């Protein structure tokens, strides 16, 4: 199984954007900042922290500029912001020096894209083409995200060729990285293996990122399949926060601490302190006032179990 397994991977923490956005109540800015600082200190060198969407649409993230201005993370941490369209980029560029990476996104499924951003895929791509070029011309690293890459609740399986064509178009527009999102948890390890083998071959020079959900408990199995296919870039969320649960009540994103635990146990380096992430997730439990669903938050790292002898 291990011929293409990378020995080191990058993990982007998406909880402060993807997670906090999906909370029913807005989290206080100072709590957000404290949690992001803890994640940065835990060695997560890529953190998605804000979104330049309309504050009336997503009030949970309306304090994005304040968060960006207040966080205090190590110098090697790249802060990412989500840019939905040209207007969002205009606003983001007003605080150009506060972040390092910008993410743009489209859904591979026409129906899902229409419901998500009220435009066709063609309309979205026409806008994002210019957005990507402006981002890169500003010297900002551009990462594109393709939602519903592994399946859509409205359309079922999404054609691989269609997904890879969108990825190539993003790369041509200047994206250094393309992330493939399992937005509603429909990926399975068999397809993931095929998918990433094809994506890595088709996108030379582009960082290929896997973003899985744990909807049916197989999130880490999908991450394993991507890893074994050669993928070395992953996104996850501390405490298993966020990920727009479909159907309601189910879990979304895979938990950063569970992903890190699996990789470390396998001998795959992440640069992340597992106890540090677990501490941040436990702090998030306190802030949110409820038990979060990650496993390692309860079980702790496997080393701790061995040390109890």
Residue 273 falls in which region: left (phi positive, over 0), alpha (psi -120 to 50) or beta: beta
In 44-159, which ranges are continuous DSSP H helix?
Answer: 64-70, 86-93, 110-117, 121-137
Closest distance to its own copies from the beta carbon of 84 (Å): 25
Side-chain half-sphere exposure of 271, counting CA atoms within 13 A: 17
- Cβ partners under 8 Å of residue 79, min gap 6: 47, 48, 49, 50, 68, 71, 73, 98, 99, 100, 101
Q: Which of 116, 214 has the CB closer to its own copies?
A: 214
Closer residue to its own copies (CB): 193 or 209: 193
Neighbours of 174 (CB within 10 A): 18
Candidate list 7, 118, 286, 306; residue touching its own copies; CB under 8 A: 306
Q: Which of residues 215-244 bind its own copies (CB under 8 A)?
A: 215-221, 223-225, 228-229
Residues 122-151 that bind its own copies (CB under 8 A): 151
DSSP 3-state of 93: helix
Q: How far is the CB of 280 from its own copies (least distance, A)?
A: 17
Tokens 């969002």 found at? 88
Q: Report, in Å, the least distance between residue 222 CB and its own copies.
A: 9
Least gap, CB of 266 to its own copies (angstroms): 4
Most distant CA atoms of the chain, gap in Å = 61
Quick one: 133 or 162, whose CB is closer to its own copies?
Answer: 162
251 binds its own copies per the rule CB under 8 A:
yes
Total Cβ atoms within 10 A of residue 190: 10
CB of 198 to its own copies, least distance (A): 14
Q: Which of residues 159-188 bind its own copies (CB under 8 A)?
A: 184-186, 188
Q: Does the protein bind its own copies through residue 1 (CB under 8 A)?
A: yes
Contacts of 84 (CB under 8 A, 6+ apart): 51, 52, 53, 104, 105, 117
As measured in angstroms, the least distance from the Cβ of 303 to its own copies is: 9
Chosen residue from 113, 148, 214, 232 binding its own copies by CB under 8 A: 214
| CB-nearer residue toward its own copies: 96 or 115 | 115
C-alpha–C-alpha distance, residues 92 and 96, integer Å? 6
Q: How far apart are CA 12 and CA 294, in angstroms?
A: 17
As a whole number of angstroms, the distance between CA 282 and CA 296 comes to 10
Instruction: Tell me which of 28, 57, 126, 266 binds its own copies, using CB under 8 A.
Output: 266
| By the rule CB under 8 A, 56 interacts with its own copies | no
**Known catalytic residue at 231:** no
Residue 290 touches its own copies, criterion: CB under 8 A:
no
**Residue 275 binding its own copies, by CB under 8 A:** no
Binding site for its own copies (CB under 8 A): 1-2, 111, 151, 153-156, 184-186, 188-191, 193, 214-221, 223-225, 228-229, 246-247, 249-251, 254-255, 258, 261-262, 265-267, 294-296, 298-300, 302, 304-306, 308-309
Catalytic machinery residues: 244
């Amino acid at each position: 199984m291990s011929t293409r397994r990378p020995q080191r991977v990058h993990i982007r923490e998406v909880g402060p954007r993807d997670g906090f956005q999906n909370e029913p109540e807005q989290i206080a800015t100072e709590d957000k900042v404290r949690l992001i600082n803890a994640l940065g200190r835990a060695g997560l060198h890529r953190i998605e922290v804000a979104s330049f969407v309309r504050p009336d649409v997503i009030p949970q993230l309306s304090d994005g500029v304040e968060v960006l201005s207040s966080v205090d993370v190590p110098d090697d941490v790249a802060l990412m912001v989500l840019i939905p369209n040209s207007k969002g980029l205009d606003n983001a560029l007003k605080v150009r020096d506060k972040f390092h990476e910008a993410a743009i996104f489209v859904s591979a499924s026409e129906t899902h894209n229409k419901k998500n951003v009220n435009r066709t895929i063609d309309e979205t791509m026409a806008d994002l083409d210019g957005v990507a070029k402006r981002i890169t011309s500003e010297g900002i690293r551009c990462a594109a995200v393709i939602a519903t890459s592994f399946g859509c609740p409205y359309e079922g399986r999404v054609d691989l060729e269609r997904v890879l064509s969108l990825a190539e178009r993003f790369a041509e527009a200047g994206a250094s990285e393309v992330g493939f999102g399992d937005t509603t948890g429909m990926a399975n390890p068999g397809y993931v293996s095929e998918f990433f083998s094809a994506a890595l071959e088709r996108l030379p020079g582009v960082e290929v990122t896997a973003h899985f959900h744990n909807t049916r408990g197989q999130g880490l199995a999908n991450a394993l399949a991507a890893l074994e296919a050669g993928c070395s870039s992953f996104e996850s969320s501390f405490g298993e926060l966020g990920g727009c649960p479909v159907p309601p009540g189910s879990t979304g994103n895979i938990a950063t601490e569970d992903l890190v635990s699996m990789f470390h146990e396998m001998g795959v380096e992440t640069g992340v302190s597992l106890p540090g992430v677990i501490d941040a997730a436990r702090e998030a439990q306190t802030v949110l006032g409820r038990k979060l669903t990650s496993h390692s938050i309860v079980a702790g790292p496997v080393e701790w179990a061995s040390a109890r002898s």
